[in-house]
Amino acid sequence: MALNVPFGDWRYINDRSVTFYTRRLEMLVRHLPELEPLLAAWKAASPEDRYPVLGDTVLRATLNAALGGMETGVKDLPLERYRAVFEGARRLLAEGRRESPTENGASRRLPLGEAAHHPWVWCDEREEDVWAQGFRELFDHEKSSSVLRTPDEATMGVLRGAVALLEDVLPRVTRSVLDHAYVVGVTDVVNRQAWDNPNRRFSYDSFTTFTIPGALFLSMGMLRNPYKAAESLLHESLHLKLHDIEHTHAILKRGYNAGRSPVIRSLWNRSHPDATNEWPACRSLAAMHVYLHLALYAERLAREPERIQAVHGPLNGYEPVPQRRRALERAHYLGGMLRRDCWEELGIGGQRMVDWMMGLLNELGAGALPQDGNAHLFLDLYEREAKEFNVLLASLRALPEAVAEERGQGLRQKVSEMLRGELGVAVRIAASVGDASASASLREQAERITSTRLSGLSDAELPGLFNSTRGTVASLLRAVSSEHFLGTREPETEKPLSELVRDMVVSSSTQLNDMSSARFQPLRAAPPS
């Protein structure tokens, strides 16, 4: 996986990246001849001296912006700032200092390891030079809902532990992917007074983007468990690796436009009005790439859990076995859908990459996954929404007391109706597969769930009932065989059982969306003015 050419080997990909950026710099010199010394220093530098400069986020972004602006005739480009960036890069290359220009201005270095390929971590206490200005502007343009922060010693310990964990369980893969991750930004909520609140909510877990090359960002919420931190670090580094591959290979067709691409619905994500769970070909390919590697990560954790925990600490709720299954199912589903619906959106490189990944998935056991009409992918969403239910209750508690009480009672009535409906579907499925005992037990449970009973539950007790009920339903449905899901039809509707699961999950997800939206709506319509 890590040694494949062209999709895995970091040396090959780096060589192609050097060629790519050398050509871009040569093109820019035609517009700005005064950059000839930078080009000369670039070409004369050894690979070791050039590596930290080549990957510098601000240098890459400045080179892309300057060349794009020159080629398209953009007026009023900030040329003085561009020149300052390029001169700083030239000076470091000429001196052979093997430093990232942006890192050079930090008040202290925060490396994640001793090797050259280990990323460094953003330090917010630093010189406010063109490098800091450029990096902050790139970040603020993408994520104005959060801020960069300097991690404390405990957080650095989690990050370094995550790198050590990855190097232990996936040594070659980790060596390959970290070569494309040059800087890690740790982020937090805008309200700095809330930084000491362990229950503060984050608007995202982690992210990367084409517009901030070579950089990945992890929220503080991801940096409490080294196993989860390692997963996020691997996840985002894989995106950066794919970005570098896309620079030099025909991964997407010529003229590809994500806005016009057919979409693949990620069944394990909730539907939203803005269709965030409908992914174009580019995002589906990137997600397949990540899920393939996450499946291998989880498999290695599950292979030696006692040894790994003795070295890296307890899993603390991280569950490798179900994580492996979910990652395999999702990657295999995306690969099949890319072949079915988006094949013409991919270039020859992208098509070969999908074929390569499908072969690896089969080696990992994805070919033996149950063919159940995607019922298990819908159940992933069903179970995850149960875990997120307390967020909905927390948002109600933030409202004024009278508003929260009225909406809380309305919420309980809707939850009662929804859970009774879910249990009703489970009753029908149990009856369809001949499990009379389970059918009777579920029917009794449904009869006990009434809005009157739920109204007597506190906010602390309600999530427990919600989770236990959904846990009962999910356990029953996960025990149904793939043959039943596809081959057995429910007598009343004559639908395959997999369609009953799909309809139930989609309906409940829509209801939860509506409940979540309703908490922000006025209690009553305003009187006419």
pLDDT per residue as tens digits for the range 19-74: 999 999 999 999 999 999 999 999 999 999 999 999 999 999 999 999 999 999 88
By residue range, what is the domain housing residue 481?
Answer: 376-518
The answer as to whether 228 is a domain residue is no
Write down the pLDDT at residue 203.
87
Examine the pLDDT at 402 and tell me if it is beyond 50.
Answer: no
| Token pair for 121 | 């971590």
Strand partners, 126: 106
Show which of 349, 369, 389 is a domain's final residue.
Answer: 369
The answer as to whether 360 is a domain residue is yes
Instruction: Tell me 481's DSSP state.
Output: -
13 Cβ partners below 8 Å, 6+ apart?
6, 179, 180, 241, 244, 245, 248
Write down the pLDDT at residue 328.
96
Write down the pLDDT at residue 516.
74
Q: 400 pLDDT band (50/70/90 cuts)?
A: low
157 Cβ partners below 8 Å, 6+ apart?
none
Write down the pLDDT at residue 461.
82
* Residues 397 and 509 grouped into a single domain: yes
| Token pair for 321 | 């076995």
Yes or no: say if 357 and 292 are a contact pair by the CB < 8 Å rule.
yes
Write down the pLDDT at residue 387.
77
Show which of 345, 369, 393 is a domain's final residue.
Answer: 369
The answer as to whether 459 is a domain residue is yes
Write down the pLDDT at residue 395.
63
**Lowest mean per-residue pLDDT among 120-134, 207-221, 379-393:** 379-393
DSSP H or E segment with residue 231: helix 226-248
Instruction: Tell me 106's DSSP state.
Output: B
Q: Percent of the chain having pLDDT more than 70?
A: 94
* Residues 301 and 388 grouped into a single domain: no
User: What average pLDDT score do residues 432-446 get?
Assistant: 89
Write down the pLDDT at residue 380.
93
Examine the pLDDT at 525 and tell me if it is beyond 60.
Answer: no
Show which of 369, 391, 412 is a domain's final residue.
Answer: 369
**Is the pTM above the cut of 0.75?**
yes
From 332, 180, 348, select the one nearest 256 (Cα to Cα): 348
Strand partners, 106: 126
* Residues 381 and 494 grouped into a single domain: yes
Read out DSSP for 245-293? HHHHS--B-TT--GGGS--EE-TTS---TT-TTEE-HHHHHHHHHHHHH
The answer as to whether 190 is a domain residue is no
Write down the pLDDT at residue 405.
56
Yes or no: say if 131 and 86 are a contact pair by the CB < 8 Å rule.
no
Write down the pLDDT at residue 282.
98
* Residues 266 and 333 grouped into a single domain: yes
From 165, 131, 160, select the one nearest 60 (Cα to Cα): 131
Q: What would the pLDDT profile of 210-268 be if each residue is shown by its tens digit?
A: 999 999 999 999 999 999 999 999 999 999 999 999 998 999 999 999 999 999 999 99
Examine the pLDDT at 75 and tell me if it is beyond 90.
Answer: no
* Residues 431 and 390 grouped into a single domain: yes
Surface-to-core class of residue 391, CB atoms within 10 Å of its CB (0-12 exposed, 13-18 middle, 19+ buried): exposed
189 φ/ψ angles, rounded to the nearest 5 degrees? -70, 155
Write down the pLDDT at residue 523.
37
122 Cβ partners below 8 Å, 6+ apart?
106, 110, 135, 148, 150, 183, 184, 185, 186
Write down the pLDDT at residue 445.
87
Radius of gyration of the chain, Cα coordinates, nearest whole angstrom: 26
The answer as to whether 195 is a domain residue is no
Q: 527 pLDDT band (50/70/90 cuts)?
A: very low
Write down the pLDDT at residue 407.
58
User: What average pLDDT score do residues 448-456 get?
Assistant: 79
* Residues 338 and 424 grouped into a single domain: no
Q: Rounded distance, CA 187 to CA 202, Å?
A: 9
The answer as to whether 225 is a domain residue is no
Q: 464 pLDDT band (50/70/90 cuts)?
A: confident
The answer as to whether 37 is a domain residue is no
Instruction: Tell me 496's DSSP state.
Output: B
* Residues 348 and 482 grouped into a single domain: no
The answer as to whether 155 is a domain residue is no
From 315, 305, 303, select the one nearest 364 (Cα to Cα): 303
* Residues 418 and 350 grouped into a single domain: no
Q: What would the pLDDT profile of 337-355 be if each residue is shown by its tens digit?
A: 999 999 999 999 999 999 9
In a 3-state reduction of DSSP, which class is residue 526?
coil
* Residues 481 and 388 grouped into a single domain: yes
* Residues 291 and 390 grouped into a single domain: no
Looking at the 3D structure of the chain, how many domains does it have? Answer: 2
* Residues 460 and 509 grouped into a single domain: yes
Provide the CA 159 distance to its chain's centre, in angstroms.
17
* Residues 362 and 416 grouped into a single domain: no
Identify residue 488 by its one-letter amino acid code. Answer: T
Three-state DSSP string of 157-192: HHHHHHHHHHHHHCHHHHHHHHCCCCEEEEEEECCH
Write down the pLDDT at residue 524.
40
